[in-house]
A and B are shown apart, each in its own frame.
Chain A
Amino acid sequence: MGVEICVEGLTKSFGHQVIWQDVSLTLPAGEISVMLGPSGTGKSVFLKTLVGLLKPDRGSIAIAGKDITRLREHDLYEVRKLFGVLFQDGALFGSMDLYDNIAFPLREHTRKSESEIKRIVLEKMDLVGLIGAEGKLPGEISGGMRKRAGLARALVLDPEIILFDEPDSGLDPVRVAYLNQLIVDLNAQIDATFLIVTHDIASARQVPDNIGLLFRRELVMFGPREDLLTSEEPVVRQFLNGRMQGPIGMAEEKDAAQVKQELAELHAGNHRGPKGGKGAGGGKIPRLLPSPGITRPPRWEEIAEQEEKMQRLRKLRAAVGPDGGVTGA
């Protein structure tokens, strides 16, 4: 079973520049959460703070009953064994080949025999589709392969919490789809707590149980997927729809008068400018479910049931026209 992460009043600044303040949220045990936000809102900083690589100015992070902001170095290393982290570029050790990279945590932390290590490493490499690339050095492979190798290394110690730093950046759409399916399958299989930091909205709309949005040094919203997808909050709507109209501008913020005017335009149904980059769009879309071959734990059975209900409802709505009359009759 995964571990709950409880963040309370977290504030971080570099010098005089506040990155975000007063962030409070709870990542429920065993669920998938996505943290969204425009570029440069400190999503990666948030992730690094969660694993204790950066110290927050204020606030607490409770993991398995321990406040990691107040732990001594030695205890922090113990808590970190609960984590698997996929860094943006994979963060593989450049001097080791892929096999040694993935075997590294096992060799450092366990007393497993080499043959057992080999079995586990090959299993994880198979999982991310890297069989045959064991002997390659990180410098010799593509960014996508590095990312997948980084994921295999993050999984090798059977972590309770898995953090993904932009798993989709630098990957093609097909690989993103495979990766999303892999994330959902993993969640059904190992029951860990997942946090994905990204600005790929297509993934954010299909994959998680919960979504959070960081903007303008604050956590604008954090809650169940449905709540955010149907939210009326201007920032959330703008981001999920990938529109130019709204509070988010090219340089982070726009001035208040312009935002007011644009929101009024939107309200009047006047949409303009390009939209829908990175899989953005309005409304709800079906949730991604674990692959058929995977035995679903009770949590996923429930989700699948609900999705099925929604599907039926949607079909019914499609058959019944928007004004209540039967179409096509």
Chain B
Amino acid sequence: MSLSPTAGLKHSGSLFSLALDVLRTLPRRPFQLREFIQQSWFIASVTILPTALVSIPFGAVIALQIGSLTRQLGAQSFSGAASVLAVLREASPIVTALLIAGAGGSAICADLGARKIREEIDAMEVLGIDPIHRLVVPRVLGSMAVAVLLNGLVSVVGVAGGYFFNVVMQNGTPGAYLASFTTLAQLPDLYWAELKALLFGAIAAIVASYKGLNAKGGPKGVGDAVNQSVVITFMLLFVTNFVMTAVYFQLVPQRG
């Protein structure tokens, strides 16, 4: 591998051109419904359980932190509000991003990478079938759909975990906890979180597909591609998350 200063730019350029190709190929008929359903199911099956298991402790940690803080300030009635706000706005998009990139993206990248080095992708192109239309677009759409649903799952499980720890472990008041839900959080929080998840799903799938389709050098090349795809996706998702949060505060008036 050559270490020229333009190499990095070249990769970012190719990644963007793949993203544009996906956009351009999106409306092309026939839509690969079967592949879309299969892939959505596949991505869901590798992410649902880990997501649920990660979001319980995540909600619990937030509840514990906020619980002790609010007790010191004497604002226990607000612990539910703060906990919901944290889970809905930040925790659920972050957990979704981690799982979509770590579990979904790596699976997509490994699958496409293995196909690439076995010359399956070349064979497909020679048979006159565009792999972006046939393979990448259904995966990107599947990953977006699953990310949106996962975000909902994380929100519910996280809030439930928070409730359990606050009420059962820290002897909070159930009524106060539930009643304060809407004092800080509002519906646009949820909408924006879902929008974030949608974008995260797209980014994760596009990066994974890009790395997979450009894998070379045998089985080790596939391993490297998966590794790079997860690292790159993480970085991109965290930056995107920051930018979208900043934009949200400018766009939507806050409560309280």
Chain A positions within 8 Å of B, measured between CB atoms, are 15, 48, 51, 53, 73, 77-78, 80-81, 83, 85, 87-89, 91-94, 104-105, 108-109, 150, 153, 157
User: Do residues A91 and B128 form an inter-chain contact, with CB atoms below 8 A?
Assistant: no
A44, chain B: closest CB distance, angstroms: 10
Q: Do A77 and B130 contact each other (CB < 8 Å), given the known contacts A15-B2, A89-B118, A91-B118?
A: yes
- Contact partners of B118 in chain A: CB under 8 A: 89, 91, 94
> Per-residue CB proximity of B73-109 to A under 8 Å, as 1/0?
0000000000000000000000000000000000000
Name 8 A/B residue pairs within 8 A (Cβ), A-sorted.
A77-B128, A80-B128, A83-B126, A87-B123, A91-B119, A93-B123, A93-B124, A104-B127
Whether the pair B119, A88 counts as a contact (CB closer than 8 A) is yes
Interface pair B115/A94, CB less than 8 Å apart: yes
- Taking the closest CB of chain A, its distance from the CB of B58, in whole angstroms, is 35
B224 within 8 A of A: no
Query: What are the residues of chain B within 8 A of A73 when measuring CB–CB?
Result: 130
The residue that A81 contacts in the complex, of B115, B122, B128, with Cβ under 8 A, is B128
Interface contact A93-B120, CB-CB below 8 Å: yes
CB of B203 closer than 8 Å to a CB of A: no
A94 & B120 in contact (Cβ 8 Å cutoff): yes
B114, CB-defined interface residue at 8 Å: yes
B residues less than 8 Å from A92 (CB atoms): 120, 123
Chain B residues contacting A80 (CB-CB under 8 Å) are: 125-128
A91→B122 contact, CB < 8 A? yes
Does B129 sit at the interface, judged by CB under 8 A? yes
If the complex has contacts A15-B2, A88-B119, A89-B119, are A94 and B114 also in contact, measured as CB distance less than 8 A? Answer: yes
Residue in B closest to A73 when the chains form the complex, CB atoms: B130
Give the distance in Å from the alpha carbon of A53 to the alpha carbon of B116 in the complex.
13
Give A77's nearest chain B residue, CB to CB: B128
With a cutoff of 8 Å between Cβ atoms, the chain A residues found around residue B126 in the complex are 51, 53, 80, 83, 85
Distance (Å) between the CB of A75 and the closest chain B CB?
A: 11
Instruction: A133 to B185: give the CA distance in the assembly, Å.
Output: 61
| Residues of B23-39 contacting chain A, CB below 8 A | none
Contacts of B122 in A (CB 8 A): 48, 53, 87, 91
Closest B-chain residue to A48, C-beta based? B122
Most central of A78, A80, A88 by chain B CB within 10 Å: A80
Whether B127 pairs with A53 at a CB distance below 8 angstroms is no
When chains A and B are docked, how far (Å) is the Cα of A261 from the Cα of B122? 45
Contact status of A91 and B125, CB under 8 A, knowing A15-B2, A77-B130 = no
Q: What distance in Å separates the Cβ of B113 from its nearest Cβ neighbour in chain A?
A: 12
Q: Quote the shortest CB–CB distance from B182 to chain A (angstroms).
A: 48
What is the CA–CA distance of A15 and B7 in the complex, to the nearest angstrom? 12
Nearest chain A CB to B31 CB, angstrom units: 14
- The answer for the CA separation of A109 and B115 in the assembled complex, in Å, is 21
**A319 → chain B closest CB, angstroms:** 51
CB-CB under 8 A from A78, the residues of chain B are 128
Contacts of A48 in B (CB 8 A): 122
**Chain A residues in 8 Å Cβ range of B129:** 77, 105, 108
Residues from chain B with a CB closer than 8 A to the CB of A88 are 119
Q: Closest approach, in angstroms, between the C-beta of B25 and any C-beta of chain A?
A: 10
Query: Cβ of A77: which chain B residues have Cβ within 8 Å of it?
Result: 125, 128-130
Alpha-carbon distance between A157 and B123 when the two chains are bound, in angstroms: 14
Kindly state the separation between the CA atoms of A85 and B127 in the bound complex, as whole angstroms.
8
13 other A-B residue contacts (CB within 8 Å) besides A77-B129, A78-B128, A93-B124? A53-B125, A77-B125, A77-B128, A80-B127, A87-B122, A89-B118, A91-B118, A91-B119, A92-B120, A93-B115, A93-B120, A94-B114, A94-B115
